[in-house]
Amino acid sequence: MMSELSRLTIAEARDRLRKAEITAVELAEACLSEIEAAEPLNAFVTTTAEKALDQARAADARLRAGDAPAMCGIPVGVKDLFCTEGVRSQAASFILNGFLPPYESTVTRQLWESGAVMLGKLNMDEFAMGSSNETSVYGPAVNPWRRQGDDTALTPGGSSGGSAAAVAAGLCLAATGTDTGGSIRQPAAFTGIVGLKPTYGRCSRWGIIAFASSLDQAGPMTRTVRDAAIMLGAMAGHDPMDSTSADVPVPDFEAALTGDIRGKRIGIPREYRMDGMPAEIEALWQKGAEMLRDAGAEVVDISLPHTKYALPAYYVIAPAEASSNLARYDGVRYGHRAKLGPGDGVTEMYEKTRAEGFGAEVKRRVMIGTYVLSAGFYDAYYNRARKVRALIKRDFDQVFDAGIDAILTPTTPSSAFPIGAMADADPVQMYLNDVFTVTVNLAGLPGISVPAGLDAAGLPLGLQLIGRPWAEGDLLNVAGVIEKAAAFEAAPQVWWRS
Amino acid sequence: MSIDLETARRVAHLARIAVDDDDLPALAGEFNRILGFIEQLNEVDVKGVEPMTSVTPMRLKRRPDVVTDGGYPEKILANAPDAREGFFAVPKVVE
């Protein structure tokens, strides 16, 4: 029997907690028992039951005292990329094996201060580099969804694959994710949940293990648009500890969910119509446009001419930043250090430690980054990519200046694929998963994936909406219209429970 | 631009990642496929375009240059693979 409690939305749980129909301890216990029974999903890699129950008891006390913010008593999972004080945080990498942060990331600290309850840490691609959760030192997380009549294990996507699987399977009410090129939105699409990447600077990056600092952004992964609005409110806000965190007010995102989008102008970018795009994704995209039109929005064809160059620019900029950020893993201050041979000096210590500690994809990206930043190639690769990035952002600026309020695209070029399907593929093939999402990171914009339908095999598909900077409220409101019109009610069959 | 074995070896060393000689050809091949993909950027006319430094128009905030934190060396050293007498320990650096 699945627990009904762990399947509640944040909004439902909040209302029932406030009415004292349920307690935070009951909610946390329900989730913990689901987590325990869901080992085949490999979603939670660390469970913090004791902490969860302590926090739940404190939340119940706040609820009784009438001092209960929206997230009070809500059990959530945390991506392994967030540093959580005294709780193993290792970015799914062997090089951070056993790392116990002596501090708490700003985003998680804010969640706990708002009364949220931490269930544990969630699987992900190593250092958030991947689109299938297969680069994790913990092994891949597994998608709760399967193709109809087919037991093949599918990927929940990546890099926030554990977060997506856990939310979709009802192991927690919501989870934190991070998104550098699509790592919240692609797994959300693959698992039939909502994933929001906020505007760059909306959530503090402090205490989140860095991948590509100019692109990384934390965001909520939830079962509904309303839940994303509620949870973002608790995660967002200016933080003096992150110099790129924006000093802008955090509005009431939930209040923006009016359902009224009459007169809004929604852009359909022609460059996102890719060769070889599956017909059902094309059809879903058109259906999404019709849903918005039916709700009174004006749907307009737009052009974002530099779209094609987003992925290649990303695969210069992200590895370049990663090679710099990951230089800190040297076997000296934390994590793994290789056993040294006689006569080995400090250089051998670095080289052996990093060879043992990093997985293949991380090594590949660190070395590509090193190459594009190296003397003689910096201008040809890195500076050129930064110029192309400026052009990609200018494309968006121009359509927003022309009065477009939001942009509708598919989230991914396919539904979830089998674990191992890309094992022998060119690395570039895996990168193509992010073709529709990566532009949003390069331009620093907010983007959200909303489950909008099933493909012929019965797997979820998502639609992406891209908003103006700092307009997450408006974006969530448009997303809510798609959610309501699509009425996505499907849930995966529970096969993982032991 | 094509990456030969010597360049692959040099990049691995610059990145401080030990790579066996046997693995260099495969690595060079992967580099070449990824760089081949990146080469598309050469099609873009970037004349007169400033390279992006910040995605949102913002000035980095300044703060007084003062010590605001610290005084807990045991916390700093707690995760070190080898710490002795209040220091990080590393193999001998200077002969």
Does the predicted model carry a pTM greater than 0.90? yes
User: Would the pLDDT of A274 be above 90?
Assistant: no
What pLDDT, on the 0 to 100 scale, is given for residue B1?
Answer: 55
For residues A34 and A2, the answer to whether their CB atoms sit within 8 Å is yes
Q: Do A346 and B11 touch (CB under 8 A)?
A: no
> Does the pLDDT of residue A316 top 70, yes or no?
yes
Contact A346 B93 (CB under 8 A): yes
Taking alpha carbons only, the member of A149, A148, A408, A436 closest to residue A284 is A408
How do residues B40-87 score in pLDDT, each as one tens digit?
A: 999 999 999 999 988 988 777 788 999 999 999 999 999 999 999 999
What confidence score (pLDDT) does residue B57 get?
80
Q: Does A306 touch chain B (CB under 8 A)?
A: yes
| pLDDT tens per residue across span A120-164 | 999 999 999 999 999 999 999 999 999 999 999 999 999 999 999
A331 token code pair: 């076997």
For residue A324, say if its preceding peptide bond is cis, omega within 30 degrees of 0. Answer: no
Judged on CB neighbours under 10 Å (0-12, 13-18, 19+), A348 is middle
pLDDT at site A420: 96
Is pLDDT of A413 > 90? Answer: yes
The C-alpha atoms of residue A143 and residue A137 are separated, in whole angstroms, by 17
| Range A39-54 average pLDDT | 98
Banded pLDDT at A380 (limits 50, 70, 90): very high
* Model confidence at A29: pLDDT above 60: yes
pLDDT of residue A419: 98
| CB-closest option in B15, B52, B80 to A333 | B80
- The one-character DSSP state at A437 is T
Percentage with pLDDT > 90 across chain A: 95
Q: Are strands A447-454 and A194-197 parallel, antiparallel or unpaired?
A: antiparallel
Residues A34-39, mean pLDDT to the nearest whole number: 97
Does residue A1 surpass a pLDDT of 70? Answer: no
Please judge whether A354 and B49 are an interchain contact, meaning their C-beta atoms are less than 8 angstroms apart. Answer: no
- List alpha helices for chain B, DSSP H: 5-14, 24-38, 73-77
Q: Phi and psi dihedrals of A138, rounded to 5?
A: -85, 0
Contacts of A94 (CB under 8 A, 6+ apart): A137, A336, A356, A357, A358, A359
A32: left (phi over 0), alpha (psi -120 to 50) or beta: alpha
Q: What is the pLDDT of residues A214-243, one digit of tens each?
A: 999 999 999 999 999 999 999 999 999 999
Contact by Cβ (8 Å): A29, A54: no
A460 pLDDT tier (thresholds 50, 70, 90): very high
> CA A111 to CA A107: how far, in whole Å?
6
The burial of B85, by beta-carbon neighbours within 10 Å (0-12 exposed, 13-18 middle, 19 or more buried), is given as: exposed
Q: How confident is the model at residue B95 (pLDDT cuts 50, 70, 90)?
A: low
DSSP 8-state symbol, A82: B
Dig out the tokens for A173 from the structure.
């009410």
Strand-pair partners of A299: A266
A residues 397-426 closer than 8 Å to B (CB):
426
A154 DSSP assignment:
B
Q: Are A312 and B38 in contact (CB < 8 Å)?
A: yes
Other beta carbons within 10 angstroms of residue A422's beta carbon come to 18
Q: Give me the pLDDT at residue A307, please.
A: 97
Closest Cβ–Cβ partner in B52, B75, B82 for A102: B75
Look at residue A19 and tell me whether its pLDDT is greater than 70.
Answer: yes
DSSP A300-344: EEE--TTGGGHHHHHHHHHHHHHHHHGGG-SSSSSS--PPPPTT-
Report the DSSP pairing between strands A174-179 and A75-79. parallel
What span, in angstroms and rounded, lies between the C-alpha atoms of A368 and A326?
A: 13
Say yes or no for a CB contact (<8 Å) between B31 and A350: no
Q: Contacts of residue B7 in chain A, CB cutoff 8 Å?
A: 371
Mutation target vs A (from B20, B39, B41; most A CBs, 10 A cutoff):
B41
Answer whether A383's CB lies under 8 Å from B47's CB. Answer: no
Q: Which residues of A are catalytic?
A: 79, 159, 183
Q: Containing H/E element for A452?
A: strand A447-454
Instruction: Say whether B44 and A391 touch across the interface (CB within 8 A).
Output: yes
| Predicted local confidence at residue A271, as pLDDT | 97
What number is the average pLDDT over the span A16-40?
A: 98
Model confidence at A174, pLDDT cuts 50, 70, 90, reads very high
- Side chain identity, residue A447: G
User: A386 and chain B: CB distance < 8 Å anywhere?
Assistant: yes
Instruction: Report pLDDT for A395.
Output: 98
Q: What is the pLDDT of residue B25?
A: 95
Mean pLDDT of all residues in B10-37: 95
Any B CB within 8 A of A444 CB: yes
Strand, coil or helix: A121: strand
Share the mean pLDDT of chain A.
97
Angle, to 10 degrees, between the axis of helix A384-401 and the axis of helix A310-325?
120
CA angle A266, A272, A274 (to 5 degrees): 150
A269: β partners? A302
CB atoms < 10 A from the CB of B18, how many? 17
